[in-house]
Amino acid sequence: MSDGTDFEEEFPPESRPELAVDAEFALLLTHDVDRPYKTVQSLYHAVRHSDPRQLKGLLPGVNPWWQFEEIMALEDDLGVRSSFYFLREPHLLAREPGDWLDPFYWVEHAGRYELDTPELLDVIDRLRDGGWEVGLHGSYDSYDDPDRLRTEKAVLESALGGPVLGGRQHHLNRGSNTWRYHREVGLHYDASPGSATEYGFQQGYRPFRPFDDEFVVFPLTLMENALPDPGEFPEAAWQVCEHLLEEAATNDAVMSVLWHPRLFAERDFPGYRRVYRRLVERALELGAWVGPAADYYGLMDHPERSVSKAEPVSEPQTGSAPESECSDSGADPAESDGGRSGDAKEADRSRVPPSQARDNKVKSTANTESTG
């Protein structure tokens, strides 16, 4: 399915699962862990905010974008939990040489991190043990690369010490086969369909099943980036959130929101933390069920898998990890491009329609966004 698909028309309300909880509506809280470290971005924010204090982010041991503890404390105080989707972008030098000069991939590389560092392993353990969901944030090209997606899932499951149920694609990327790839590698849901610049229930009020089986798609109702800047227009930002909550309550909806962890850093992104807290508090006041996507998925009644709707995309790999991970070549299996040449990848990006590039942040041209 392409991003131009009208999901409301293709999956009409009568074909979608009923609300799975005894509540006025459901609110799914999600966080895409894109950039947990603030490094070179300190220069950008120092200039943007005319604030030389931002340069502290360049000092060893200073990392204002590490917001895991703050988010966990905030949500624990409210009695809720959420989903954290972890990303594993390949190293720039592990890409095709043609990608090395692409500014877009330099931006992606600037935020790259590894999952096997002691501090991230500790965070993942604490999230899991505390009742939060740890899910997959598929890397930029993985939406069209099942081998990469499978390996990224295996690496995250190794760090987690257990299975990953679902997640969301980086930049909300998806193509005609993305959900089939998700399903084939063992994911049970995707939370990607949505927009970085628009909000609302354009994709319907409830999740849908593209294969009429247990695989579920949760449309994204609101990414915080689409709000009026709450630092400058706090009431305008809040009015958007309140109207969406009221619409969700009126329509027995499953509403999904995305707040990137770094936007809880008040100095860099003033107002976003306060709006998030207010959003959750108001949802609870309205009688909503609030929690991670995986928990809601677990409360749904699921039909048997329909093999006729999604054929295997590749031979499943056996053993505790993909074969390439166990080789002695020294190459990182997630750093390969699955046999796709640089020309083929560039052709994929150039074919993206303008609406998809605009709504899902898929890059059909050179990246011009800040690294912040």
Q: Does the pLDDT value for residue 60 go beyond 80? A: no
In a domain? residue 35: yes
Residue reference for tokens 């609870």:
284
Among residues 124, 194, 199, the alpha carbon closest in space to that of 162 is found at 124
**How large a percentage of the chain has pLDDT more than 90?**
59
Q: Does the pLDDT value for residue 357 go beyond 50? A: no
Q: Is residue 256 within 8 Å of residue 220, measured between CB atoms?
A: yes
pLDDT for 370 equals 35
Q: Does the pLDDT value for residue 369 go beyond 80? A: no
Rounded Cα distance, 338 and 340, in Å: 6
CA atoms within 13 A on the CB side of 372: 19
pLDDT for 314 equals 39
pLDDT for 230 equals 95
Residue reference for tokens 């499953």:
254
Rounded Cα distance, 210 and 205, in Å: 15
pLDDT band at 210 (very low <50, low <70, confident <90, very high): very high
In a domain? residue 58: yes
Rounded Cα distance, 51 and 33, in Å: 25
Q: Which of 66-70, 110-114, 296-300 has the lowest mean pLDDT?
A: 110-114
pLDDT band at 9 (very low <50, low <70, confident <90, very high): confident
Of 227 and 103, more confident: 227
In a domain? residue 87: yes
Mean pLDDT of 117-141: 95
pLDDT for 209 equals 97
In a domain? residue 371: no
In a domain? residue 160: yes
Three-state DSSP at 359 gives helix
Rounded Cα distance, 56 and 40, in Å: 11
In a domain? residue 367: no
Residue reference for tokens 């931002």:
54
Q: Is residue 280 within 8 Å of residue 239, measured between CB atoms?
A: no
Q: What pLDDT, in 10s, does the model give residues 164-175? A: 999 999 999 999
Q: Which runs of E-coded beta strand occur in 218-258?
A: 222-223, 254-258
- Domain span including residue 32: 7-360
Would you tell me how many other CB atoms lie within 10 Å of the CB of residue 4?
Answer: 9
**How large a percentage of the chain has pLDDT more than 70?**
67
pLDDT band at 16 (very low <50, low <70, confident <90, very high): very high
Q: Does the pLDDT value for residue 20 go beyond 90? A: yes
pLDDT band at 358 (very low <50, low <70, confident <90, very high): very low
CATH at residue 215: 3.20.20.370
pLDDT for 371 equals 32
Residue reference for tokens 């997640």:
167
Phi and psi dihedrals of 198, rounded to 5? -130, 155
Q: What pLDDT, in 10s, does the model give residues 278-333? A: 999 999 999 999 999 999 999 999 987 654 344 434 333 333 333 333 333 333 43
Q: How many residues does the chain have?
A: 372
Residue reference for tokens 């400058």:
232
Rounded Cα distance, 58 and 37, in Å: 10
As a 3-state breakdown, the chain gives helix, strand, coil percent values, each rounded to 5, of 45, 10, 45
Rg (CA), the chain: 20
Q: What single string gives the DSSP state of each residue in 201-229?
A: STT-SS-B-TTSSS-EE----EEGGGS--
Q: Which residues contact 197 (CB under 8 A, 6 or more apart)?
A: 225, 226, 358, 359
pLDDT for 39 equals 58
Q: Is residue 185 within 8 Å of residue 208, measured between CB atoms?
A: no
Q: Does the pLDDT value for residue 163 go beyond 90? A: yes
Of 47 and 371, more confident: 47
Locate 31 and state its tokens. 């966080």
Supply the mean pLDDT for the chain.
Answer: 79
Of 12 and 56, more confident: 12
Locate 43 and state its tokens. 């220069």
Q: Which of 89-93, 195-199, 302-306, 320-324 has the highest mean pLDDT?
A: 195-199
Of 182 and 49, more confident: 182
In a domain? residue 369: no
Q: Does the pLDDT value for residue 181 go beyond 50? A: yes
Mean pLDDT of 341-362: 36
pLDDT band at 95 (very low <50, low <70, confident <90, very high): low
What is the residue type of 132? W
Q: Does the pLDDT value for residue 196 go beyond 70? A: yes
pLDDT band at 4 (very low <50, low <70, confident <90, very high): low
In a domain? residue 210: yes
Q: What angle do CA 189, 190, 191 make, to 5 degrees?
A: 125
Total tally of structural domains belonging to the chain = 1
Of 265 and 368, more confident: 265
Q: What single string gives the DSSP state of each residue in 45-62?
A: HHHHTT-GGGGGGGSTT-
Mean pLDDT of 16-33: 97
Q: Is residue 159 within 8 Å of residue 120, measured between CB atoms?
A: yes
pLDDT for 343 equals 44
